[in-house]
Amino acid sequence: MIPKLIYVLNGPNLNRLGKREPGIYGSQTLEDIGASLLERAEALGCTIEMRQSNHEGQLVDWLHEAEDKGAHAVLLNAGAYTHTSIALLDGIRAISAPVIEVHLSNPHTREEFRHVSRVGQAAKGTIAGFGANSYLLALEAAAAL
């Protein structure tokens, strides 16, 4: 059986995990999260392609690439672009692979501007508020699609 390919895309400032506001985002680095995802993906019969960029257009390009490479699903933590990016909203709508929105914290318990999600307007679903486990929960959901 061919493993399901799942893209894991991370937006701005997520390269600073473990250093940036650990009271909100936890002490695990993005590399730590990636290692956990790789282990779980293998158990689920999936492969992952994990990437991070601080640049909006790069994230859009990777959404298109995920589609072109036949990805089964995309996990997307768009960081602050979640709340502002029409380009990511349109990018999600431009592909057929389901996108699962992921957040370490719960945006609805934070500043009011974080309560609106452009990404969520096109995502299959959202998993938020469980720290690094949000990624693992999203991976489980993606594998089950």
Query: Which residue numbers belong to the known binding site for substrate?
Result: 77, 83, 90, 104-105, 114
Contact 51, 61 (CB under 8 A): no
**Residue length of the chain:** 145
**Rama region for 100: left / alpha / beta (φ>0; ψ in -120 to 50; rest):** beta
Q: Which of 72, 81, 103, 135 is catalytic?
A: 103
Sign, CA dihedral 20-86-68-75, equals positive
How far, in Å, CA of 68 to CA of 131, rounded? 30
Comparing CA positions, the residue from 134, 108, 105 lying closest to residue 21 is: 105
- Residue 103 is among the residues annotated as catalytic for this protein: yes
How far, in Å, CA of 113 to CA of 39, rounded? 35
Q: Which of 7, 25, 81, 135 is catalytic?
A: 25
How far, in Å, CA of 77 to CA of 143, rounded? 17
Provide the annotated active-site residues: 25, 103
